[in-house]
Amino acid sequence: MQQWIDLNTKLANDSLATLKQFGELNVKTTEAFFAQQKEMTEGLTSTTEKNIEKLSAAKDPKDFFEMQKEMFQTSMDLALGNWKKAIASTESNRAAYKKLSEKSLKTAKTNMDKVVESAKKATTEATEAAKKAVKAAK
């Protein structure tokens, strides 16, 4: 009986450890995402402020539209850079989640193999004890 209690305690502890690791990974992923969004927002805000200053200094419509074209390109480059960082971050996170999932599945399989082995052993011992009891009763 103690073996079953110990085995179930190990299963619960392993499950709890896995949940904790997934939680920590979720927090890390979320913090990285918000930091990246903050950086992009600050960059766009700064760029927009500079763009307004430049546009107000335009001398004629041609100058104004030329500046606007440059500003659009700068903003697109900033957005594209953010997009590339987001993709890289997503790939990195995917790899971390995959590794953790594979590790937890391996641990779960090992634990379930122990449960099955323990159940087989208990069944064999119970069968042998029943046979002895029947033989003794005859």
Contact 94, 103 (CB under 8 A): no
Contact 75, 47 (CB under 8 A): yes
User: What pLDDT score was predicted for residue 1?
Assistant: 67
User: What pLDDT score was predicted for residue 30?
Assistant: 92
How far, in Å, CA of 89 to CA of 40, rounded? 14
What's the half-sphere exposure (Cβ side, CA atoms, 13 Å) at 104?
A: 17
**pTM confidence score:** 0.65
Contact 8, 14 (CB under 8 A): no
Query: Domain map of the chain by residue range?
Result: 38-137
User: What pLDDT score was predicted for residue 47?
Assistant: 85
User: What pLDDT score was predicted for residue 108?
Assistant: 87
Place of tokens 């119970």: 126
The set of residues, in sequence order, having a beta carbon less than 8 Å from that of 7 and lying 6+ positions away, is: 111, 114, 115, 118
pLDDT tens digit at each of 138 positions of the chain: 687 788 888 888 988 999 999 999 999 999 998 998 898 889 888 888 888 888 888 889 999 999 889 888 888 888 899 889 889 988 988 999 999 999 999 988 998 898 888 888 888 988 999 999 888 887
User: What pLDDT score was predicted for residue 10?
Assistant: 85
Rg (CA), the chain: 31
User: What pLDDT score was predicted for residue 122?
Assistant: 85
